Amino acid sequence: MAFNIQMIPLKWRVGHAGRGDAEPVEFVPAAVPGAAQIDWARATDMPDWNIGVNYLQYRWMEDCFWIYRADLPKTTLGADEQLIFKCRGIDYKYEVYLDGEIIYAYEGMFRPFELDISRAAADGGELSIVVYPIPKNPDRAPDSREEASSSCKPAVSYGWDWHPRLVPSGIWDEASLCVVKKERILHAEVRYELSGDLKCASITVDAKIGDASDTTDSAAAAAPPGDRPLLRFRLRSPDGAIALESTDLGTPLILTDVKLWWCNGYGAPALYEWELLLERGGAAKDAANGRVGFRKVSLEMNPGAWSEPADFPKSRSHAPITLTLNNVPIFAKGTNWVNPEIFPGAISAETYRPLLERAQAAHFNLLRVWGGGIVNKDSFFDMCDSFGLMVWQEFPLACNRYPDTQQYLSTLESEATAIIKRLRKHACHVIWCGGNELFNNWSMMTDQSLPLRLLDKLCYELDHGKPYLPTSPISGMAHGCYLFVYPDGREVYKAMAEARHTAYTEFGVPSISNLDTCLWAAPRDMLFPMEKNEATVAHHAFGAWDGADDTWCSIGTLRRYLGEPASLKQLIEWSQWLQCEGYKCIYEEARRQKPYCSMALNWCYNEPWPTIANNSLLNYPASPKPAYYAVAEACRSRLASAAIPKFAWRPGEEFTAALWLLNDGQAPIGPGAADVYLEYGGERHFLLRWEHDGAPANGNAAGPTLRHRLAVDAADAGGVSGLGAAAGEGGAAGAGSVSGLGGASGCGAKFSELKLVISAGDMSSEYRLIITE
Amino acid sequence: MAFNIQMIPLKWRVGHAGRGDAEPVEFVPAAVPGAAQIDWARATDMPDWNIGVNYLQYRWMEDCFWIYRADLPKTTLGADEQLIFKCRGIDYKYEVYLDGEIIYAYEGMFRPFELDISRAAADGGELSIVVYPIPKNPDRAPDSREEASSSCKPAVSYGWDWHPRLVPSGIWDEASLCVVKKERILHAEVRYELSGDLKCASITVDAKIGDASDTTDSAAAAAPPGDRPLLRFRLRSPDGAIALESTDLGTPLILTDVKLWWCNGYGAPALYEWELLLERGGAAKDAANGRVGFRKVSLEMNPGAWSEPADFPKSRSHAPITLTLNNVPIFAKGTNWVNPEIFPGAISAETYRPLLERAQAAHFNLLRVWGGGIVNKDSFFDMCDSFGLMVWQEFPLACNRYPDTQQYLSTLESEATAIIKRLRKHACHVIWCGGNELFNNWSMMTDQSLPLRLLDKLCYELDHGKPYLPTSPISGMAHGCYLFVYPDGREVYKAMAEARHTAYTEFGVPSISNLDTCLWAAPRDMLFPMEKNEATVAHHAFGAWDGADDTWCSIGTLRRYLGEPASLKQLIEWSQWLQCEGYKCIYEEARRQKPYCSMALNWCYNEPWPTIANNSLLNYPASPKPAYYAVAEACRSRLASAAIPKFAWRPGEEFTAALWLLNDGQAPIGPGAADVYLEYGGERHFLLRWEHDGAPANGNAAGPTLRHRLAVDAADAGGVSGLGAAAGEGGAAGAGSVSGLGGASGCGAKFSELKLVISAGDMSSEYRLIITE
């Protein structure tokens, strides 16, 4: 909205009280958008919640009423003007008062609102927002995420295996006071339908003008001829040329030669810009604008899935999960996105930018925005539009049994409606999903749960034709595991090779965080030796997940494979080594299972605070761990890959691995050659030269199986390998580079490194394994 | 509606033409409700479609326009009266004309309509209904069920493995001309919500009165005081006493001490009768009435299902399918119901009655009304209400890929809305389902298919809270197989023992029909020897299903097990013997798998014409095959059962079987004893006396495994057993009775009978197996 708005700055203050109608003892300055907790901590010099167990000191804030106040200045309004208070979201249940009189009340953080407060213009006044204590389901386990199970408040803040219990409250998205013209564009949205051949778009402009009357047509009819308001629509193609211009919005506008929006790795994310001008007497009075990307999205059956099940008695075939963009089946490579901040109110576009740039650089094309977190701010979706990052958006339901009660359904309907209407216009948005892991026994929702049927209904009505999943995983898909060695004792190599799923929409391998992140969270003496203490527990190194007590640091696994680390630095290097190899294994194995498998999304991408150990690829706020680079390599469109049966090999054992060419590109891989080596004991052993025939477009090719008898003295020959540059930025395994081997000798290590190198130009890969007695 | 209606009989005639606006060459008398095909056949002496291949002579009728006509008599209307033409359904696409002017047009057979034709009262006139040729999707395979894939016309008429291609057209449900008062009850529906303890019902009466104004309140407000129309609601409890009476329908009425409606085997199907009187000045002017059964229904997770899947990567848990009535989990025993007539217009309450009485007598509690057929007439649901037969109702989608097109969705929405509003008031109706086998590769619809999302949405909106399944089977459930020996070579005994599913919602074992049914369909010389000919193919003995060419007669299986039958009678006895044993095996094995399994519904119950072979339990129209009685025995609430590994045993082999007590009752089975025998070679061998501890309420108990070395001369000792009384009415295996053994000697039989008898009073069972070299 470029015209017509005069913003009036507000100075907010916030205080807390035990009742909503009580006067706070003290007010402190409030940042809007933000969170009451941040304001209070800043004003009262509370310690940083990111460090140690400081976050525990914030716990009392859950049960306060937070009361925001702002003084409205006296404002002169013209007869054609209104004074508006508008807000994009308040977390979570709240009431808005003008001079002590309630003017709005709502439960939910995702529905924006706009209030006409013109009556307060002449004399000024006081705006007050009372935010209730966070919702807690009294029938469920206290101090657990189950407290979030009867509200639409994102569950993650109630505590997760990578998120402390720290629950935000307050004005978390933009709020503004402004003077606007009564005659203005209240709403403008561009919808389209593509022709079957995707060459033409039939565009509908849905616009609403404010004044005495509500709609364009009747407003126009009431005005004297020659002075009717006119809506002018302009669409510019990605090169800036005007592709369409019309003042007749009663019928669909036809755009030909559509440049389609493509996701990362498949083409340019072409975006058209549109502008809607409200004109009267030849002059522009108001404007709205936006972007539109033309694409068709669907979920299609995975090849092979229709032929299952084969035998009688016969159940259903698995659900479709091949994401198809503009009729092209996509192998969806990506990650699970979580809140990038503990306090969503602190998120800005600059929070998102480095995270999304790295996602694009990692060859990702799909982000699953997990239902335990928030629905992100507009800038997130704007950037995803620009970067070609498709978004799978979940509604705020996760790992809980949300009820069939009328109260919950009513809140959910209102929140979901707001979410759908906000996101549906983004080209990047491709999948709706009811929430996380709702059909598993830690949630206990089912196909019959009314909240999920309601969400399906709303998506059907408001965003017709876009895929809807009730939850993840559904039939055919799978989540987990989140360890290098699974609870049943299988290594990730074996477990993934034995798996057969249509999509791996969560899988994780943990590591200890980068050194600087660890030292942010806790002092060095609480980190090494890595033991259970209040800081390592709080920051998720121990007892974070029920798979094992030493999750996520997996110190037991490290000791079993590698021995006793000599230093914190070495511990981190070892831990991150396993994360790198584990993630490469899973992404590449999922790709080998294409096309029956069509999706690989690791858990998780980012994190909301400095963890000591986590499955994430990035440390807070956006620092890559080595696994980020390893995953980026594994997600290259064209790749020479090895299916490796295990991590730890014995001297004298026959090493085996199967070679593959993986191709997600739309062009074939041509014939070529790859030289394959094993490096161990300080020597490079040439295994074979693979003269391959290439691979078809969007298809893989299996190659020979490597076989090599490891030397009987392999474990002690040449000393112990170190990690060299692998932990540094840009240090992903490069073809032919041998990592530095020094540095680890003399420590408690009990292995030597076994490196498999596939040298194949820009498709080269490396795998770092071990030889151990 | 007891008052206020003066019916005017209409004399219908029908003719056909090549165009809708052409005049038929000839009209013949038409029965309404009925079908144009029947009328035409009757009038022109066409041969009975039930016999031989006569149905082929009806094929041309598919592509006609059928034009119904009726002359409207002159009728004197009072100022307060209207002349109404109303109809409950016309099959399929049609237009209604009054004196040549179109007054209504619709596509779909399930939406009733009511037309005010008062203007034709004074002078009379002509009513004309033009029924279009049957819908055929031009993009799909001709002469196949796929032709039904873009319409809401039930697919079965286009041909199925037990239904000839014979597609009805015409006025298939009641149509009437009547004079009514303008002030009358237009609509009345009773809804309720039960309290958590199911003891109270909060009743809402949704009523609409016709006159100048539409609603009760405004009608009342417009009338002079003292002469306002009044609605009086009365509810009578099952014993006839008035349980509630009120003229204040603005607030819910509270019924206490509710007598709940129970399904067959779990309690009485208590029905309350309600009456709504429209009164003015103390006199009743109109009345509406109906029945209501109070019950709560849900689908709950099957015990054990939440603990699956166990391993990572982890998919979803199976969908819930334990039908829970009034908070009591039901083991759903029943069958798949298909159209009881080729022409649904020929169905009356008397068609339904013997079928439903037999269903009740067979201890069934659930009928799955399969989506390939019609939604039955009201009398079906009325009887199911009375008999405690729960109904799983599918929308008319089956084994096709119904499209996402706006045209189809629009028709489906209209039809489904009418269906939901009609059925939701019946206590018997417990499950909505999108249709049959839509998530399998012969249909190729998926979770993303818009028709199924639309149906979920409509059910959510119009019948909130009742279970909705997108299709059957879904995750955890299974269909098939339909043979005694499965396509992969396993016997039904082995396949079922290896199966593990939450519900068996279709399974079948075929047999040749009863002798009189066979002889109705074809002359004896076309039936024996049983070979492929036009009659046996047409009536489904050969080539009916792609599992094997000799389906459904399974002559190959019979020959392999039993030898060459000496007569048609013996062939039928043999075939029906396998059907009996196969069905007993499946029902009892499904019951043994309780509670992980919670449902067993065979395919199918009835049939629409005289088949020569079919999986049905009843021959057309309602004649039990021996399998009907065998199934009734297997579905007794309390049962001593044997898990038998196979059908054919060798002389000298060790016979084994595991004993079980099966209890679906709400009371435990007390301790007791069962004597177990094997009969073969003309001798009864006592195996053991099982002194059992009983079984818990609604639970089973496993007993000992029987072991007996069969005599080495078992196959030739004592000759060949015959079937005796087993084929006759009431001839189900009775405890301790030994079937007559004579009659089969001298034929080509190559087996002797091996009968397992469990003698346990009213829980006794028998299994008839064979010994063969």
Per-residue pLDDT reduced to its tens digit, A537-583: 999 999 999 878 999 999 999 999 999 999 999 999 999 999 999 99
DSSP reduced 3-state for A585? helix
pLDDT category of residue A62 using cuts at 50, 70 and 90: very high
Is B631 within 8 Å of B587 (Cβ atoms)? yes
Q: What average pLDDT does the segment A441-460 reach?
A: 98
Contact A92, A151 (CB under 8 A): yes
Residue B643's closest CA among B654, B658, B653? Answer: B658
Contact A317 B441 (CB under 8 A): yes
Q: What percent of chain B has pLDDT over 90?
A: 91
The CA distances from residue A47 to A310, A525, A542, B349, in Å, are 61, 20, 23, 79
Chain segment A494-521, per-residue pLDDT in tens: 999 999 999 999 999 999 999 999 999 9
Pairwise CB contact (< 8 Å): B316 & A473 = yes
The residue among B334, B326, B337 whose CA lies nearest residue B381 is: B337
Question: What's the rounded mean pLDDT across residues B302-329?
Answer: 97
Cα of A153 to nearest chain B Cα, Å: 24
Are A120 and A130 a contacting pair, CB within 8 Å? no
Q: Is A259 exposed, middle or buried (0-12, 13-18, 19+ CB in 10 A)?
A: middle
Nearest to A721 by CA among A515, A577, A567, A579: A577
Rounded average pLDDT over A645-669:
97
Distances (CA, A) of A357 to A3, A78, A170, A341, B625: 32, 46, 29, 17, 71
Residues of B in contact with A312 (CB under 8 A): 478-481, 486-488, 495
* Gap between the Cα atoms of B40 and A186, Å rounded: 63
Q: What is the mean pLDDT of residues B536-564?
A: 95
What are the backbone angles phi and psi of residue B182, rounded to the nearest 5°? -60, -40
State the average pLDDT over residues A694-706. Answer: 97
Which residues in chain A have their CB less than 8 angstroms from residue B474's CB? Answer: 315-316, 447
**Contact call for residues A682 and A719 (beta carbons, < 8 A):** yes
pLDDT score at A224: 61
Distance CA A504, CA B313 (A): 8
Question: In three state form, how does the secondary structure of A151-215 look?
Answer: CCCCHHHHCECCECCCCCCEECCCEEEEEEECCEEEEEEEEEEECCCCCCEEEEEEEEEECCCCC
Mutation site for A-interface testing, chosen from B317, B392, B448, B502 by largest number of A Cβ within 10 Å: B448
Question: What's residue A116's pLDDT?
Answer: 97
Query: pTM of whole model > 0.90?
Result: yes
Confidence band, pLDDT 50/70/90 cuts, at residue A748:
confident
- For residue A725, pLDDT over 90 is answered with no
Is residue B285 within 8 Å of residue B1, measured between CB atoms?
no
State the pLDDT confidence band at A714, using cuts at 50, 70 and 90: confident
Least Cα separation, residue B401 to chain A (angstroms) = 13
Please give, rounded to a whole number of angstroms, the shortest distance from the CA of A136 to a CA of chain B. Answer: 23
- For A758, phi then psi, to 5°, come to -110, 110
The shortest CB-CB distance from B478 to any of A315, A465, A488 is to A315
Distances (CA, A) of A747 to A602, A721, A738, A739, A753: 33, 12, 21, 18, 15
CA distance A430 to A296: 9
Omega of the bond leading into B604 within 30 degrees of 0 (cis): yes
How far is the alpha carbon of A404 from chain B, nearest alpha carbon, in Å?
9
Do residue B319 and residue A447 have CB atoms under 8 angstroms apart? yes
Q: What's the pLDDT at A728?
A: 36
Nearest residue, CB atoms, B313 vs list A301, A404, A507: A507
Q: How far is A24 from chain B (nearest CA, A)?
A: 41
For the record, the structure tokens of A344 come out as: 């969503």
**Backbone φ and ψ of B226, nearest 5°:** 85, -15
Give the residue-averaged pLDDT of A663-677: 97
Assign residue A681 a region (left: φ > 0; alpha: ψ between -120 and 50; beta: otherwise): left
Residues of A in contact with B314 (CB under 8 A): 440, 473, 478-481
Residues 6+ apart with CB under 8 A from B689: B673, B674, B675, B676
Residue of A nearest to B302 (CA): A446
Residue A751: both structure tokens together: 């292995």
Q: How far is the CA of B452 from the CAs of A472, A703, B395, in angstroms? A: 19, 43, 10
Residues on chain B touching A465 (C-beta within 8 angstroms): 404, 450
Averaged pLDDT, A7-27: 96
Q: Which of B251, B209, B250 is nearest to B229 (CA)?
A: B209
**Tokens, residue B502:** 């939450």
Q: Tell me the per-residue pLDDT of A583-598, one tens digit each, with 9 for 90 and over.
A: 999 999 999 999 999 9
User: B249 vs A244, B205, B206, B751, B759, CA distance in Å?
Assistant: 57, 6, 8, 72, 59
Q: Give contacts of B307 with chain A, Cβ < 8 Å.
A: 441
Q: Which two tokens stand for residue B741?
A: 């053994």
pLDDT number for residue A734: 36
Q: At what angle do helices B450-462 and B406-423 cross, to 10 degrees?
A: 30
Look up the ipTM and state it: 0.94
Phi/psi at A577 (5° precision): -60, -50
Give how far A766 is from chain B: nearest CA, Å.
Answer: 25
Instruction: Please indicate whether, in this complex, the C-beta atoms of A461 and B461 are within 8 angstroms of each other.
Output: no
**In three state form, how does the secondary structure of A98-116 look?**
ECCEEEEEEECCCCCEEEE
* Alpha-carbon gap, residue B553 to B546, rounded angstroms: 13
At residue B137, does pLDDT exceed 70?
yes
A202 touches chain B (CB under 8 A): no
Sheet holding A272-280: strands in order across?
A: A242-246, A229-236, A272-280, A283-292
Pairing of strands B429-433, B468-469: parallel
The radius of gyration of chain A from alpha carbons, rounded to an integer in Å, stands at 28
Cβ-count burial of A731 within 10 angstroms (0-12 exposed, 13-18 middle, 19+ buried)? middle
What pLDDT is recorded for position B737?
A: 33
Bridge partners of B235, per DSSP, are B244, B274
For B717-768, what is each residue's pLDDT tens digit?
A: 444 444 433 333 333 333 333 343 333 444 678 899 999 999 999 999 999 9
Whole-number percent of chain A with pLDDT over 70 = 93
Please spell the DSSP secondary structure of B173-186, one letter per residue.
S-EEEEEEESSEEE
- Enumerate the β-bridge partners of residue B638: B663
Q: How confident is the model at residue B223 (pLDDT cuts 50, 70, 90)?
A: low
Both tokens of A514, joined, read: 């980068």
Cα B492 to the chain's mean position, in Å?
24
Closest by CA to A475, choosing from A622, A309, A614, is: A309
pLDDT score at B714: 77
Whats the size of chain B, residue-wise?
773
**pLDDT per position as a tens digit, B148-194:** 999 999 999 999 999 999 999 999 999 999 999 999 999 999 999 99
If we measure between CA atoms, which residue out of B756, B761, B760 comes closest to residue B771? B756
- Who among A311, A315, A467 is closest to B448 (CB)? A467
How many pairs of residues across A and B have Cβ atoms under 8 Å apart? 151
- Which residue of chain A comes nearest to B307, CA vs CA? A441
From the list B307, B314, B404, the residue facing A480 with the nearest CB is: B314
Compare CB distances from B501 to A315, A447, A453 and report the shortest one's residue: A315
Q: What is the pLDDT of residues B560-583, one digit of tens each?
A: 999 999 999 999 999 999 999 999
Q: Give the nearest partner residue to B319 out of A446, A453, A495, using CB atoms.
A: A446
Residues in chain B closer than 8 A to A481 (CB atoms): 312-314
Structure tokens at B484: 């005694």
CA–CA min distance A282, chain B (Å)? 40
pLDDT at A773: 84
- Please state, rounded to an integer, the average pLDDT across all residues of chain B: 93
CA distance A757 to A309: 39
Q: Give chain A's count of helices (H) and strands (E).
A: 12, 44
Q: Tell me the chain A residues in contact with residue B479 when contact means C-beta distances shorter than 8 Å.
A: 312-315
Range 437-496 of A in CB contact (< 8 A) with B: 439-441, 444, 446-448, 450, 453-454, 456-457, 460-461, 464-465, 467-469, 471, 473-481, 486-488, 495-496
Q: Which of A322, A320, A326 is nearest to A308 (CA)?
A: A320
Question: Could you tell me the pLDDT band of residue A465, with boundaries at 50, 70 and 90?
Answer: confident
Contact (Cβ atoms closer than 8 angstroms) between residue B521 and residue B611: yes
CB within 8 Å: B301 and A447: no
Average confidence score pLDDT of chain A: 93
Shortest Cα–Cα distance, A202 to chain B (Å): 16
Give me the residues of A, 303-342, that contact B with CB < 8 A.
306-307, 311-317, 319-320
Dist. CA B254–CA B247, nearest whole Å: 13
Confidence class of residue A403 from pLDDT cuts 50, 70 and 90? very high
What's the pLDDT score for residue B580?
98
The yes-or-no verdict on residue B215 having pLDDT over 70 is no
Distances (CA, A) of A217 to A223, A275, A276, B266: 10, 19, 16, 62
- Count CB atoms within 10 A of the CB of residue B349: 13
| Closest to A131 (Cα-Cα) out of A93, A172, A89, A85 | A93
Question: How much is the average pLDDT of B423-439?
Answer: 98
Which residue among B314, B444, B477 places its CB closest to the CB of A478?
B314
For B451-503, what is each residue's pLDDT tens digit? 999 999 999 999 998 999 999 999 999 999 999 999 999 999 999 999 999 99
Task: Count the helices and strands in chain B (H runs, E runs).
Answer: 12, 44
pLDDT at B233: 98
- Cβ contact, residue pair A474, B306, below 8 Å: no
| Both tokens assigned to A185 | 């564009």
A460/B312 Cβ within 8 A: no
